[in-house]
Amino acid sequence: MTGEPVVALLVEDNDDHAELVMRQMADHRIANKVVRLADGQEALDYLFRKGIFEDSEVSPRPHVIFLDLRLPKVDGLDVLKVLKDSDEVRDIPVVVLTTSEGERDVTKAYLNHANSYVVKPVDYHKFRDLMDNLGFYWMSWNTTIKK
């Protein structure tokens, strides 16, 4: 809100789901910029600025991370664990956004310090409302550490 672009990071391997989320975000003008990454390894590279994401211009710090759990290469829960173990990025809120309602996943996510756990609804209207509320809450209402 200070002119700095509000970046949301979306880690999602399913292109269709990524498309759905990003369209909603665009519709609700939630973020200035949504960065979508397709697997866990990419997400870690981005956040720790490795490989192609070395330049901080390319990889600005996200305001919030929307993280799917089932990801190729590095699983979402493993990504979460690494993030929350790191002094560098631990402060960034992580919202687990997944299809899984499995109790084990919920537990593991929270035990790994996920900030929120949200299950993707099948119903389009619910999905739209969810993304609206989610975006508004995490992007507008929620205050994060200023850097």
Under the rule (CB under 8 A), what is the footprint of other proteins?
13-14, 16-17, 19-20, 23, 38-39, 69-70, 72-73, 98-102, 104-105, 120-125, 127-128
Residue count of the chain, please give it.
147
Question: Which residues are within 8 A (CB) of 69 and not within 5 positions of it... i.e. 6 or more apart?
Answer: 75, 76, 77, 96, 98, 100, 105, 109
Q: Which residue do the tokens 């993304």 mark?
A: 131
Residue whose structure tokens are 């600025």: 49
Least distance to other proteins from the beta carbon of 67, Å?
Answer: 14
Cβ 19 to other proteins shortest distance, Å: 8
Residue with Cβ nearer other proteins (23 or 50): 23
For residues 50 and 13, what is the distance between their CA atoms, to the nearest angstrom?
Answer: 19
Q: How far is the CB of 75 from other proteins (least distance, A)?
A: 8
Specify the residue, 80 or 92, whose C-beta has the smaller distance to other proteins: 80
